[in-house]
Amino acid sequence: TSKLQNSIRMYFKHVRLLQRVWLVSSKLNSFIRHAIYLPVLWEVETEVLAEMMQLPADVARTELQDFSKRFHLARRIADAQQLAIKRDEIRGARDAVAVAKVL
């Protein structure tokens, strides 16, 4: 019975570990989509629309520069990299104590 209990305990530890990895991976995926891809897409779309609507170049450039100042792409990429590192640390952890330290 002891071996069975230990096996079940280890199984649940692995399940919790997988759930934590999945949670962080899901947050990373969502963050990349909403904080990086969508703003970059908006920027490209704005450039195309400005060209198609024949807006003065300085107006479009000013709008895009203002957006770029608020957007902070490099900071967002660094945040995504930190989430990826956290995910990898959790994935590499073998016990619940190590996972708790990462989170």
Give the type of residue at 13: K
Q: What is the pLDDT along the chain (103 residues), one digit of tens a residue?
A: 689 998 999 899 889 888 888 898 899 999 999 999 999 999 999 999 999 999 898 988 998 899 988 888 899 999 999 989 988 888 876 555 555 555 5
| DSSP secondary structure, 11-71, as one string | HHHHHHHHHHHHHHHHHHHHHIIIIIIHHHHHHHHHHHHHHHTT--HHHHHHHHHHHHHHH
End-to-end alpha-carbon separation of the chain, Å?
33
CB proximity list for 76: less than 8 A, separation 6 or greater: 35, 36
pLDDT at 78: 94
